[in-house]
Chain A
């Protein structure tokens, strides 16, 4: 019921203001004043409230630590002093005529029993109520990653990695799983942008998000099949309610790549003139040139991004309707030194310590490059009732056009080599039922829903994946019961998938098609237990599945950037995952942190297995890979610990360990993130001269060598040297030094947030195992990044 507590609090604040206005001229002139502090910290609790039961009015503790209740009539009253996460104190007070009454300092004791519920209250969204292991980035932590791609931003969370294709393409990896095994929910919509490709970065504007939440582990029940690795939620800011126009300007500049990013947002509401209506416009422009490693520039690693979005929301009593449109447009240069015509070229490139061509800096962006545009139109409507809960219906259309341009040798054509247009329609209907209190003090919450999806894909030029049409439908139900220290959750889901792929027969060019359909039911169980006031344990068991996608089934073509001929397997069965995880979270006075364990067993795990015979084409020999299924396990530990050495100085350590294994072939899996440890020391000052929120930090990231990788073996085949497992052994371990300084300065009434950070400060030359271009070149060298953020308001505010 905490949710209604917040709604109640807001509504009586409104009431209290109105009461105050009404009572101004009356005989009631008494003022009640006081302080509310936490019993644990002895510090004021800003945002805590004093509420007079009899009058239905209250006041909030202001930043100076006081509350004031004015225009009180004489009488006897009962006052509730309350704050989220603390036990409410109720005290009587007697008001006499025309006096100022100062009550003794109110001390609120922390309510440890409520800790679990507090989390639920703070997180308004349905997603965050799930008991699944989740981590999020918001506020200052998110600001620190501004200007980076989604994949790079999320790397600051334990258990998350990114798989890269040079410095310009970065895809998120959760617990060793990526691409189609992760669902990205962008503004509530399941992002569909050909994510099967390891060199296809998600088309999401990071500046749209006010919170990035990652659900680690199988989260299929609520978000649909495929999510056997996890879910990434990109959640925008709440729409404004205050009248007037406000905005925010972001500027980011980096020395490496001479990158510049500008992002602006304007939003407004109309207050009493047009209650319930609000809008937001947002846009981002990003340009970057050649990235520099410690010793040379990486030719053609320029990057362009141009995004905009508009959002309009209207709330009428219990009805809300929202229309959102966004366009994300990128042109991504691929490192020319990684362009190889054949296996021979690849071996020659691997054997070179540095790329042959090392031009100077430039913003030039030529072939090879990717040009990708993603459009999203979303219409959402919701209906709130006190008795029924919240019913939400969402329809969305996404159009993703991807054009990949390879190096051209002689023809001078302007066509791309690969063109894919994917149009996705989704429909979601979710009913989140009202919190139901039980007589024994527990309460039930939960939701049921329907997800529908249809996709059409049209290819042109080279064949990599066929045209297809797919339909999918899912039904789910999740119920949660919380009582005292225990929260229990159970979920069930049924999915149906239908896929038809369209081809032309070799030679005759006669069209034909093939059809698949799959169905599956999955479930989840979760429990959270508050062992001690400062210690909680959460555990989950869930199953999830993923139907093979069209690339798994029907790929047939040369993947030039991967130097691989990939062959699909139409006989693939769906992947079935059995995921278990447990998280122990501790929040003590000086020490806090959490340790999570996970075990993900995937039957029929689909992966590209190297074939024994290479494929010979005009450019020479290429290793061939066929999609194969094995039983795979992904086990690991995520551990985060924070220790306050002094009130200002914090030591933080984030560690991610992962052990993945191909049980069927008794071998390691390729491209599994190595273990890593990220440690930082941070000094915070709430005020330093005129600057506030001042901090400085130094950090060291250690990434181990991946010793659990398939052995690289060579053999002779038709006069060609053929490598199996991988083309080169994993690169050595590396250590990167970083530092950051940040503060907020006042520009008039507006707080300007400034962050200056340095990455790879020691200018270490290193290669990362998860970068597909690690065979050819080093990772980026030192970079200094300046991030500015200025919230502002336009015109007169009311």
Chain B
């Protein structure tokens, strides 16, 4: 090997080694989802006896969901007022996504679909401030009427409809799509 080549080889080796000293990659930062929803809670209050409350919570929605406390145990032929709460527990302190959705009610819509359809009747009780032909429902607050005794599920979908909300679920994309098991006695 001629001397020039040898020197260059040395130079390149030295450069390669010194250049790669930075070890940034060894400091791993935890996963951070801007808009994780970890927890969805439905709180139902019996309209006739407001002390009677039913809550159902799904945890770990953003990974493998935990449905152990997710079942809604309701009375047949009863009217409840319903409230939904969404939390992001990956943030410190825990972030209440419901508040942010309420702030952007004009582009969000909660869609509740019971299976079988006769199990529950859900009516949204709130309105956004979209101009005519609005306002449209948002679905953060609802009235839920149970039918005859039975079991099934309640699908809750949060639609994000920026600039396209028209009162139907069609426009936009889903931010949340999950099922609460329902038992009506």
Interface size class of B (residues with CB under 8 A): 35 or more
Please tell me if the beta carbons of B177 and A504 are within 8 angstroms of each other in the complex.
Answer: no
A555 to chain B, nearest CB (A): 13
Please tell me if the beta carbons of B33 and A462 are within 8 angstroms of each other in the complex.
Answer: yes
Please tell me if the beta carbons of B33 and A410 are within 8 angstroms of each other in the complex.
Answer: no
* C-alpha gap A357/B63 in the complex (Å): 31
Chain B: CB-nearest residue to A556: B31
Question: Chain A, 472-508, contact with B by CB distance < 8 Å: what is the 0/1 string?
Answer: 0000000000000000000000000000001110000
* C-alpha gap A341/B23 in the complex (Å): 36
Q: Which of B4-30 contact A (CB under 8 A)?
A: 4-5, 8-9, 11-13, 15-16, 19-20, 22-30
Complex partner residue of B97 from A341, A407, A410, A457, CB under 8 angstroms: A410
Q: Is A354 an interface residue (CB 8 A)?
A: no
Please tell me if the beta carbons of A425 and B20 are within 8 angstroms of each other in the complex.
Answer: yes
Q: Is A467 an interface residue (CB 8 A)?
A: yes
Please tell me if the beta carbons of A452 and B174 are within 8 angstroms of each other in the complex.
Answer: no
Question: Chain A, 452-482, contact with B by CB distance < 8 Å: what is the 0/1 string?
Answer: 1010111111110011110100000000000
B185 to chain A, nearest CB (A): 24
* C-alpha gap A458/B22 in the complex (Å): 11
Complex partner residue of A391 from B8, B20, B23, B170, CB under 8 angstroms: B8
**Given A357-B171, A411-B35, A467-B28, A454:B20 Cβ within 8 A:** yes
* C-alpha gap A468/B28 in the complex (Å): 10
* C-alpha gap A410/B171 in the complex (Å): 16
**Given A393-B11, A427-B15, A618:B34 Cβ within 8 A:** no
- Chain A residue numbers with a CB within 8 Å of B95 are 411
Q: Is A235 an interface residue (CB 8 A)?
A: no
- Chain A residue numbers with a CB within 8 Å of B173 are 339-342, 345, 407, 619
* C-alpha gap A406/B34 in the complex (Å): 10
**Given A467-B28, A509-B30, A429:B9 Cβ within 8 A:** yes
- Chain B residue numbers with a CB within 8 Å of A429 are 5, 8-9, 12
Q: Is A124 an interface residue (CB 8 A)?
A: no
Complex partner residue of B32 from A452, A456, A461, A466, CB under 8 angstroms: A461
Which stretch of A101-109, A412-420, A538-546 is in the interface?
A412-420
Please tell me if the beta carbons of A618 and B177 are within 8 angstroms of each other in the complex.
Answer: yes
Q: Is B84 an interface residue (CB 8 A)?
A: no
Please tell me if the beta carbons of B34 and A415 are within 8 angstroms of each other in the complex.
Answer: yes
* C-alpha gap A427/B22 in the complex (Å): 17
Chain A: CB-nearest residue to B65: A616
* C-alpha gap A617/B64 in the complex (Å): 7
* C-alpha gap A324/B86 in the complex (Å): 52
Q: Is B178 an interface residue (CB 8 A)?
A: yes
* C-alpha gap A423/B23 in the complex (Å): 11
Which stretch of B43-51, B100-108, B117-125 is in the interface?
B100-108
Complex partner residue of A395 from B15, B61, B62, CB under 8 angstroms: B15
B132 to chain A, nearest CB (A): 20
Please tell me if the beta carbons of B174 and A345 are within 8 angstroms of each other in the complex.
Answer: yes
**Given A357-B171, A408-B34, A502-B28, A341:B177 Cβ within 8 A:** yes
Q: Is B163 an interface residue (CB 8 A)?
A: yes
Q: Is A511 an interface residue (CB 8 A)?
A: yes
* C-alpha gap A421/B4 in the complex (Å): 36
- Chain A residue numbers with a CB within 8 Å of B32 are 415, 460-462
Question: Chain A, 666-691, contact with B by CB distance < 8 Å: what is the 0/1 string?
Answer: 00000000000000000000000000
Please tell me if the beta carbons of B33 and A461 are within 8 angstroms of each other in the complex.
Answer: yes
**Given A408-B34, A410-B35, A410-B108, A458:B24 Cβ within 8 A:** yes
**Given A393-B8, A393-B11, A456-B22, A341:B160 Cβ within 8 A:** yes
Q: Is A207 an interface residue (CB 8 A)?
A: no
Complex partner residue of B34 from A393, A417, A457, A458, CB under 8 angstroms: A417
Please tell me if the beta carbons of B35 and A344 are within 8 angstroms of each other in the complex.
Answer: no
* C-alpha gap A251/B100 in the complex (Å): 46
Q: Is A409 an interface residue (CB 8 A)?
A: yes
Q: Is B175 an interface residue (CB 8 A)?
A: yes
Q: Is A348 an interface residue (CB 8 A)?
A: yes
Q: Is B92 an interface residue (CB 8 A)?
A: no
Complex partner residue of A504 from B11, B22, B30, CB under 8 angstroms: B30
Q: Is A383 an interface residue (CB 8 A)?
A: yes
Complex partner residue of B164 from A341, A357, A502, A617, CB under 8 angstroms: A357
Q: Is A397 an interface residue (CB 8 A)?
A: yes
- Chain B residue numbers with a CB within 8 Å of A634 are none
Q: Is B37 an interface residue (CB 8 A)?
A: yes
Chain B: CB-nearest residue to A340: B173
Please tell me if the beta carbons of B8 and A412 are within 8 angstroms of each other in the complex.
Answer: no
B36 to chain A, nearest CB (A): 7
Q: Is A223 an interface residue (CB 8 A)?
A: no
* C-alpha gap A457/B26 in the complex (Å): 9
B152 to chain A, nearest CB (A): 12
Please tell me if the beta carbons of A393 and B100 are within 8 angstroms of each other in the complex.
Answer: no
Q: Which of A616-631 contact B (CB under 8 A)?
A: 616-621
A235 to chain B, nearest CB (A): 23
Q: Which of B54-99 contact A (CB under 8 A)?
A: 61-63, 65, 95, 97
A516 to chain B, nearest CB (A): 15
Q: Which of A42-74 contact B (CB under 8 A)?
A: none
**Given A391-B5, A454-B16, A620:B34 Cβ within 8 A:** no
Q: Which of A293-347 contact B (CB under 8 A)?
A: 339-342, 344-345
* C-alpha gap A412/B103 in the complex (Å): 11
Please tell me if the beta carbons of B34 and A407 are within 8 angstroms of each other in the complex.
Answer: no
Chain B: CB-nearest residue to A616: B65
Chain B: CB-nearest residue to A457: B25
B73 to chain A, nearest CB (A): 22
**Given A429-B9, A450-B9, A342:B174 Cβ within 8 A:** yes
* C-alpha gap A357/B163 in the complex (Å): 9
- Chain B residue numbers with a CB within 8 Å of A616 are 65
Q: Is A388 an interface residue (CB 8 A)?
A: yes
Q: Is A431 an interface residue (CB 8 A)?
A: yes
- Which of B24, B97, B163 gathers most chain A CB within 10 Å? B24
B95 to chain A, nearest CB (A): 8
* C-alpha gap A412/B176 in the complex (Å): 17
Please tell me if the beta carbons of A412 and B20 are within 8 angstroms of each other in the complex.
Answer: no
Please tell me if the beta carbons of A427 and B16 are within 8 angstroms of each other in the complex.
Answer: yes
* C-alpha gap A471/B38 in the complex (Å): 39
Chain B: CB-nearest residue to A468: B25
Chain A: CB-nearest residue to B32: A461
* C-alpha gap A471/B13 in the complex (Å): 12
* C-alpha gap A397/B15 in the complex (Å): 11
* C-alpha gap A8/B138 in the complex (Å): 82
Q: Is A356 an interface residue (CB 8 A)?
A: yes
- Chain B residue numbers with a CB within 8 Å of A461 are 31-34
* C-alpha gap A616/B178 in the complex (Å): 9
A430 to chain B, nearest CB (A): 10
* C-alpha gap A371/B16 in the complex (Å): 29
Complex partner residue of A618 from B19, B62, B164, B170, CB under 8 angstroms: B62
Complex partner residue of A463 from B2, B31, B65, CB under 8 angstroms: B31
* C-alpha gap A658/B60 in the complex (Å): 46
B10 to chain A, nearest CB (A): 11
- Chain A residue numbers with a CB within 8 Å of B16 are 395, 425, 427, 452, 454
Chain A: CB-nearest residue to B88: A411
Please tell me if the beta carbons of A408 and B35 are within 8 angstroms of each other in the complex.
Answer: yes
Chain A: CB-nearest residue to B29: A460
A702 to chain B, nearest CB (A): 36
7 closest pairs, A vs B, by CB?
A620-B177, A341-B173, A341-B174, A467-B25, A410-B100, A427-B12, A618-B61
8 contacts between A and B (CB under 8 A): A339-B173, A356-B170, A395-B12, A397-B19, A409-B104, A423-B22, A460-B29, A460-B32
- 19 additional A-B residue pairs with CB within 8 Å, beyond A345-B173, A415-B32: A345-B174, A348-B170, A357-B171, A391-B4, A395-B15, A407-B160, A407-B173, A408-B34, A409-B160, A409-B175, A410-B104, A427-B12, A458-B25, A461-B32, A461-B33, A467-B25, A618-B177, A619-B175, A619-B176
B interface, CB within 8 angstroms of A: 2, 4-5, 8-9, 11-13, 15-16, 19-20, 22-38, 61-63, 65, 95, 97, 100-101, 103-104, 108, 157-158, 160, 163-164, 170-171, 173-178
